[in-house]
Amino acid sequence: MPEIGLVTCQNLPELDADEDIQLEAIRAAGAKAELVAWDDPDQDLSKYDIVVLRSCWNYPWKEQEFREWLNKTKSTTRIFNDPEVVRWNIHKGYLLELEKAGVPIVPTRVVSGDQPHAQLDTLLESNFGELSESRFVLKPAVSAGSWLTYFFDKADSDDAHNFIEKEGAQRDWLLQPYMKSVDDGGERANVFIGGVWSHCVVKSPRFVGQEESVEIGGTVLPEDRQLGNLAMACAPGEILYGRVDTVRDETGRPLVAELELIEPSLFLLQYPSARTLFGESCVKACLKT
């Protein structure tokens, strides 16, 4: 019987509502399944046919250690998603690669740790992301959840400079305009499992200190599926699962806000019908040579 390790971390930043659901789905599909913490030095990964990254949500604070773990683990067992995909997806600068490939994205620029204050001023003065919206968002280029994600007003850019100075002037930051459409229609999180666009949920904007608000969204819209396929095609390796979060611009056109290919929530709690697909997809991945 195949054995699958679902990769978590020793101290979860928040509870994983899908944890037990995923374990049960894999077992129902005919494999053994258990949790394994990537940051547990006593872990034994050699017994697993594959390991699937699920709630390793502390990796942004241990980025180099996580990268080293990926390199070590790939010589012991297979990792999903593909380690090349994971490494590519760690730094959200991948959004610029999507843009270069012709994928419509939320306007994004990287404010690097090299002179971040000057870069931020230059971008704001150029009216970056001209969308008739005075607010902008800053988030770490390597992050998970709403960690250090804040929005600011262009008229009070000193607050943004103080924030960068306090939270890490040496790290890379993403600068994006605040997308007003999320206040009304939210953000659509489109879930991809085993080659199938399974379902979506609608999420409200989430910033530091806020709980995630999720509503049932139903099937993936055709325009989001098309956009998601374009984004997925840019990834440098095999994808077992993923999520493409989309928002609308002022004309209603969908844009990629994030392409999450490491440890995204798949909202199996909200969509019981997707649980079998997840379990069977994991077992099929074990059987691939």
Domains of the chain: 3-84 (3.40.50.880), 90-104+181-277 (3.30.470.20), 109-177 (3.30.1490)
Q: What is the pLDDT of residue 82?
A: 97
Q: What is the pLDDT of residue 200?
A: 95
Q: What is the pLDDT of residue 28?
A: 98
Q: Which DSSP string do the residues of the chain spell out, in sequence order?
A: --EEEEEE-SS-SS--TTHHHHHHHHHHTT-EEEEEETT-TT---TT-SEEEE-S-TTGGGGHHHHHHHHHHHTTTSEEES-HHHHHHHHSTTHHHHHHHTT--B---EEE-SSSHHHHHHHHHHTTTT-SS--EEEEEESS--TTTT-EEEEGGGHHHHHHHHHHH-TTS-EEEEE--THHHHT-EEEEEEETTEEEEEEEE----TTPPP-EEEEESPPHHHHHHHHHHHTTSSS--SEEEEEEEE-TTS-EEEEEEE-SS----TTT-GGGHHHHHHHHHHHHH--
Each of the 289 residues of the chain gets a pLDDT tens digit; together they read 999 999 999 999 889 999 999 999 999 999 999 999 999 999 999 999 999 999 999 999 999 999 999 999 999 999 999 999 999 999 999 999 999 999 999 999 999 877 888 888 888 888 666 545 688 999 999 987 777 788 898 877 888 888 888 887 788 999 999 888 877 767 899 999 999 999 999 986 655 554 556 777 789 999 999 999 999 999 999 999 999 999 999 899 999 999 999 999 999 999 999 999 999 999 999 988 5
Please name the residues in contact with 21: beta carbons below 8 A apart, sequence gap of 6 or more: 268, 269, 275
Supply the pTM of this predicted model.
0.92
Q: What is the pLDDT of residue 213?
A: 65
Q: What is the pLDDT of residue 66?
A: 98
Q: What is the pLDDT of residue 205?
A: 64
Q: What is the pLDDT of residue 49?
A: 97
Distance CA 94, CA 35 (A): 29
Q: What is the pLDDT of residue 125?
A: 81
Q: Is 168 left (phi over 0), alpha (psi -120 to 50) or beta?
A: left
Distance CA 163, CA 23 (A): 40
Please name the residues in contact with 273: beta carbons below 8 A apart, sequence gap of 6 or more: 199
Q: What is the pLDDT of residue 165?
A: 86
- Cα→Cα distances 213→70, 203, 224, 237, 243, Å: 31, 6, 20, 31, 17
